[in-house]
Structures are given as C-alpha cells and as structure tokens.
Amino acid sequence: SLSIEGIHAIKEEELLGVIGSTPGQPYSDFGVTTDRDNILALYFNEGFPEASFSATADRVSAAATEQKPEAGGSSGSAKGNVDKTQKEKESKTEIEQAEAVRLMYHIQEGPQTRVRRILIGGYRHTRPGVIHREVHIKVKEPLREGDVVESQRRRYNLGVFNRVSSEPQNPNGTNPEKDIAVLVEEAKRYTVAYGGGFEVQRLASTTSPTGAQIEAAPRGILEVSKLNLTGRGDSLSFKLRGSTLQGRALLGYSAPNAFANPHFSFQATAFAEKTRDINTFTEDRYEGSVQLTEQVTPLTTVLYRYAFRQVRVSNLKILSEEVPLFNQPTLVSQFGVTWFRDSRDNPAEASKGSFNSADFSDADTNVGSSASFLRFFFQNSTYYPIKRRFSFARSTRLGLLVPYGDTVSLTFPAPAPGQCIPGTAPSGPTPTIIPLPERFFAGGGTSLRGFALNQAGPRDACTGFPVGGQAMLVLNQEFRFPMRLPFIGTSLGGAIFYDGGNVYSRLSRISLHSMLPAPTFALQNPALPAGPTNVPVCATNCTNELNYFAHTIGLGVRYKTPVGPIRIDFGYQLNRPLFVIPIPCPSGAANCQVGSLGQQSTRLPGFQIFFNLGSSF
C-alpha cells in the first residue's frame, strides 16, 4: 500500500500522476528516488522552493499476521540532499526481498513563494517592453520554476543577450512575496566576420555540350551585422561573397516576435548575384523578398513569402534564331508558402530521423511577372541507424512547373533537315514560356551524381546544351559505413550510393524507361555527294528531349568536421543515351560557324567526381 502525508496545496490525485510506486508495482529504492524527484519538481514548479520529502517502508509478512517495521526509504529537500546509512541500506535490501511493503511518503511543503513585482535591469539599447514580453513570470502568481526556465530560454532566443537571469530578491527573507530581478547583459551590437578560401567546382564546358572541366578560384567572404537595430531584438546584416565562379551581395533584415507573437518572425532580403553554374548561359539575378516564418511546433515550420526578381541571361549557347525565345525579359513576381518538418538528429550529418518539405508558389502576369506558372517542390528524406555506426539514408525529390494563361510549355519538335544550320531556322511569333532560369536543372554532388553540375535533362535540339525542364524526379539511396585508419581514427567514413531520376520536359513526360532510341543521320540531299553545302544532319530521333530514367552507382569518402563532412564522391551513370550536337569546327579554322559542318551524335561522360562540404541530402 501507499500513503502520502503532509499534502495541502496540491491534490493527491495530481501527486499520484507523477508517482510510479503505486500498489501492485514492484518495490525498489530506485523507484522511490524517482518518485522523490518527480514530487519535488512538482512542488518547485508550484512555488514551493523549500519543499522536502522523506519515505518509510514497512515489510509485510506473507500471512499478513505479523509486521516487522523496518526504517528506510528515501528523503530529499529543495537542495536534493539524501542521508543514507549502512543500516538503512541493509533495511532496504530486506524490504526489496519481501513479498510486500507498506510505503509511506512524508512531505513538508514549506511556504509558497509568490511574485510581488518584476524588476528589469541591465539593458542599454533594448526596449523594456521587449524584455517584459519574453518574461513568463506573472505578478501575484506562484514563482514557478518552469516559468523561470521558459523566460530565460525566450530571452536567449532573441539573439541579442550574452547572459540572462531571473532571481528573487532577499531569497532567505520570511516574506513569501518576492520581488523578481530580471537581469540581462547585452551582446556587442556590431560584428564583422571575414574569411577566405579556395573554391573548386567541376563545371560543364562553355564551348562543348559534353565537356567538363575542374575550375578553381580563390574565394572571399565579408559579413557586417548590427544586432538590436531598433532595440526590438531585430538585426541588419550585409554579406559579400565573391570568386571568379560566383559573386553575391546580400542585405538582410530580421525581426523576431512579429505581431508580438513568439511563434512568428519576419525577414526581408535584397541581393544581387552572378553565377555561371549552368553552361548554357550566365545568370545575373536581382531579387527582393519578404518572408514571415511561423514556428508551429519545435519540429514544424511554415514560411510565407513574396519575392520579386529580375534575371538576365547572357552568353547563351543556342542558335541566334532561338535567342528571342530563351532571352525574353525575366521578371518574376511570386507568392509562395513552404512547409517543412525536421526531426533529424544532426542536420549537417544525419544518421536518424527524417526531413519533409513541401513548397508551393505562384507567379502571375497580373502582379508583374513575365510569365504565369505554378511551382511545386516536394522532398522526403529519411535516415536509419544500423547497429552502432552504420546508417542508411534515402531521399525523394519531386518538382513540377505548370504554365497557365498565355504561358505555354517549351516543346521539343524534331528539327526539319538542315534547320539547325545557322541562318536556316524558320522565323515566326515568339511564344511566352517559363523563363530559362526558372526551369529545373539537376546534376552534381547533391542531386544526380552521374551528371556534371546541372547537366541532366532536356537539351537544345541544335546545340546540345541543357535547357532545363518543367518536371524533376530525383531518388537517392546511400549506405554509410565507418573507415578506421591510423592517425585519423573514426573521423573517416565511406558510402555506397545509388542515384536515379532525371529532369523531364514536363509532367506527362516523366518516364521510368532506361533506354532511348539513338538518332540517325543522313546528308541534306542524299542524291548529292557530301560537301560544304551538303552536310550530315539528323534524320530521326532528333529532339534531344532525353526523357529517360538515369541510373547512377558510386562510392564516396567522407571526413567529419565540426561544420559537416567533407565529401568526395565518384559516380558512374549506367545508361547514357546518345543525343545530337553540331560537328565542332576544326581548331584554327577560319570562317567556320558552329553547326555549319553538320551534326553528329555523342554521349555525356559516364564518370563524375565531386568535392563538396556538407551532406549529399
């Protein structure tokens, strides 16, 4: 049986809810100690800092006719001290071996501490109302330990304080009503960070649709930020990142507790970026966006955003007749919402848990966009530990672009014989398509490792350079295992991976077929001999749409660092299809235009190598 004495402020039913040593349960010293901790935690959280606990247990004989009292049990106080003697240990051992015990818990509640006033101090630039808003301690209410902990957590989450505390003044005084001193120590408002490095990227060639080259360049990073910009916990930051491969300048503003709600935060950004990670074109992007972030649960977040951007493309690797189609002015005015749930144990290098996200956005000509289209992107990644140090990871990514209104899908009709020779392409009205920079591209160390960076999917029917697609399906599976080497220890690991999928021209063209028919070629005029005006051109299977399911296998090496693994991946694509490209001009040839010598078929390189920092997915 169990008896509880000394309770007045808390109902017995509430105490029984945190007690495990109930009638019919096995008796143990550990169980009593656990009950003590739970009971004292309940009292502390109701404002009883001096509550104490003790326990006694009497052994009951099997016949229940003779009782032999045995002093023992567990005791505790607000300071968590328990006195144990050798005699008590022996008594508890006997009790544990008995058939039944009569257990009694003795509680001394002590006085309840209540909050008289909340005094805030230590701030210089922060507005007092911002600190008050983060304090969950209530005047005239008990001083609950849970409220104190939550108040400190919320103030730290503002990101503008080095140290916070919440302590009662004159804690040893006899007055049960206490003034609570809420103190903060503000962090430095200005921070400057800078760094340098060496950037290595395996990029597709800008002169050949199948070539790839490793390019390296120094990189510089500069960040300047000001915390607590207006005294509301907000911040302003300016970031510069530059190299010969990519450049970006970003100005960002962030404010927590939007609408005086701790679950919402507000962000505004403006940035300019120049990249050449897609060899079909060089991209200059100018974008401004506003975003509202809602923390629904500790694991679930929802983002609401609006973005307006202008993207300019240059150095297009297409026929001059196609420039009006692909070089249309790109203005995107887009509303979107993103939901994600992250339960990974370590986002930088997960071994268990899952990551799920769904993104939906709408760009419309009625709000300033050059084209009208819907965009949907979904990702599901799961991670499974195996034994102690092995793990299996998998990921599925699906992306869709759906044009509407006057915007149409980019089609891939077979070019007429000789159409891809410069100066022979037919002219006509230029339709509105989803802009080239907004289309899906894939390939590289974080998606399909059988392709060079952004080389998967449909290609221009005349030049053979990638033009992206309106649908994307990427499947990744990876088995990760440890590798022990002298002087390195457990920091080195390996992976065996499989990647499947591709970028597709549109949703209806998603296919699981692994092979495509090869293109065939014939002279422009088969009745005449080959010559400068009668060159080989594609006759059948000439679209370069390449809607097939690519299969890639490979091996990887990972080295653990505090910011994520350094990865080297070696991938090989098993089913590389043939596609059409122009016959290149001989080196040093004068007056030779690309495509003037006719067409031929080729394949992408099967073997790829990638150097990356961070997890593959």
**266 in the same domain as 370:** yes
Query: CB–CB of 474/397 below 8 Å?
Result: yes
**254 in the same domain as 208:** yes
Runs of H (alpha helix) within 139-237? 145-157
H/E run at residue 34: helix 29-44
**234 in the same domain as 172:** no
**273 in the same domain as 126:** no
**374 in the same domain as 475:** yes
Q: How many CA atoms lie within 13 A of 516 on its CB side?
A: 24
The last residue of a domain, from among 73, 108, 143? 108
Where are the extended beta strands (E) located within 51-137? 52-60, 67-68, 75-76, 100-108, 114-121
The last residue of a domain, from among 108, 129, 149? 108
CA-based radius of gyration for the chain: 34
Name the residue range of residue 142's domain.
114-186
Domain harbouring 270, CATH code: 2.40.160.50
The residue length of the chain stands at 617
**194 in the same domain as 161:** no
**78 in the same domain as 141:** no
**216 in the same domain as 145:** no
Phi, psi of 370 (to 5 degrees): -75, -25
SS3 344: coil
Residue with tokens 């986002």: 347
**76 in the same domain as 43:** yes
Q: State how far the Cα of 422 lies from the Cα of 463, in Å rounded to an integer.
A: 11
According to DSSP, the β-strands at 300-314 and 235-242 are unpaired
SS3 363: strand
SS3 516: coil
Domain harbouring 177, CATH code: 3.10.20.310
Phi, psi of 326 (to 5 degrees): -90, -15
What does the angle CA 588 – CA 590 – CA 596 come to, to the nearest 5 degrees? 105
Q: What is the pLDDT of residue 72?
A: 41
SS3 160: coil
Q: Quote the number of domains for the chain.
A: 3
* Most distant CA pair in the chain, distance: 120
Sign of CA dihedral 147, 150, 151, 152: positive
Query: CB–CB of 606/573 below 8 Å?
Result: yes
Residues of the chain with pLDDT under 50: 62-85, 95-96, 323, 425
**265 in the same domain as 220:** yes
**168 in the same domain as 256:** no
The last residue of a domain, from among 108, 132, 162? 108
Query: CB–CB of 90/71 below 8 Å?
Result: no
Q: What is the pLDDT of residue 477?
A: 98
Q: Token pair for residue 394?
A: 């998998």
Region of 489 on the Ramachandran plot (φ > 0 left; ψ -120 to 50 alpha; else beta): left
**524 in the same domain as 397:** yes
